[in-house]
Amino acid sequence: MATIDTLQKIFAAKFALSPDQIQPDASLQALGLDSLDSIEVLFDIEEAFQIRIPQDRAAEAALVYVKDLVSLIDSLVTQQHASRAAG
Instruction: Return d(Cα 18, Cα 85) in angstroms, integer.
Output: 37
Cα dihedral angle (2, 16, 69, 63), rounded to 10 degrees?
170
According to CATH, the topology of domain 3-86 is: 1.10.1200
Q: What is the pTM of this model?
A: 0.85
Q: What is the mean pLDDT of residues 40-53?
A: 91
pLDDT tens for 47-65 read 999 999 887 766 677 788 9
- Determine the pLDDT at residue 71: 94
Distance CA 15, CA 38 (A): 11
Average of pLDDT values for 69-76?
94
Interval 6-39: pLDDT, tens = 999 999 998 888 988 999 999 988 888 877 888 8
Domain spans of the chain, in order of start: 3-86
Crossing angle of helices 35-49 and 66-86, in 10° steps, is 40
